[in-house]
Amino acid sequence: MALVSSTPLLSTARAEGYCIGAFNVHTLEMLQAVVEAAEETRSPLIIQSTVGTVKHLGADYIAAAATVAANRSSVPIALHLDHCSDFNIIMQCIRAGYTSVMIDASHDPFDKNVAETRKVVEAASAVGVNVEAELGRVGGVEDDIVVDERDALLADPEECARFVELTGVHTLAPAIGTAHGIYKGDPNIDFDRIGRIASRVSVPLVLHGGSGIPEDQVRRAVSLGMSKMNVATELRIVFSDAIKQVFANNPDENDPRKYMVPAKQALKAAAIEKMRLCGSIGKA
Ligand SMILES: [Zn+2]
Task: Tell how far the Cα of 162 is from the centroid of ligand 1, in angstroms.
Answer: 21
Residues whose CB is less than 8 angstroms from the CB of residue 269 and which lie 6 or more positions away in sequence, other chains included: 37
**For residue 52, how many other CB atoms are within 10 A of its CB?**
12
Task: Tell how far the Cα of 46 is from the centroid of ligand 1, in angstroms.
Answer: 14
**Is 35 known to sit in a ligand binding site?**
no
Q: Which of 108, 111, 34 is nearest to 272 (CA)?
A: 34
Task: Tell how far the Cα of 82 is from the centroid of ligand 1, in angstroms.
Answer: 7
pTM of the model: 0.94
pLDDT at 75: 98
Task: Tell how far the Cα of 71 is from the centroid of ligand 1, in angstroms.
Answer: 27
**82 is known as an active-site residue:** yes
Q: List the pLDDT tens digit at each of the 284 positions of the chain.
A: 899 999 999 999 999 999 999 999 999 999 999 999 999 999 999 999 999 999 999 999 999 999 999 999 999 999 999 999 999 999 999 999 999 999 999 999 999 999 999 999 999 999 999 999 999 987 664 444 455 566 668 999 999 999 999 999 999 999 998 888 888 777 889 999 999 999 999 999 999 998 889 999 999 999 999 999 999 999 999 999 999 999 999 999 999 999 999 999 999 999 999 999 999 999 99
- Provide the mean pLDDT of the chain: 94
Task: Tell how far the Cα of 272 is from the centroid of ligand 1, in angstroms.
Answer: 20
| Active-site annotation holder among 82, 86, 190, 255 | 82
Domains of the chain and any CATH numbers:
6-278 (3.20.20.70)
**Is 233 known to sit in a ligand binding site?**
yes
98-128 pLDDT, tens per residue?
999 999 999 999 999 999 999 999 999 999 9
> Do the Cβ atoms of 222 and 19 come closer than 8 Å?
yes
The span from the CA of 21 to the CA of 23, in Å, is 6
**Is 208 known to sit in a ligand binding site?**
yes
pLDDT at 260: 97
**Is 170 known to sit in a ligand binding site?**
no
**Is 232 known to sit in a ligand binding site?**
yes
CA angle 216, 271, 78 (to 5 degrees): 110
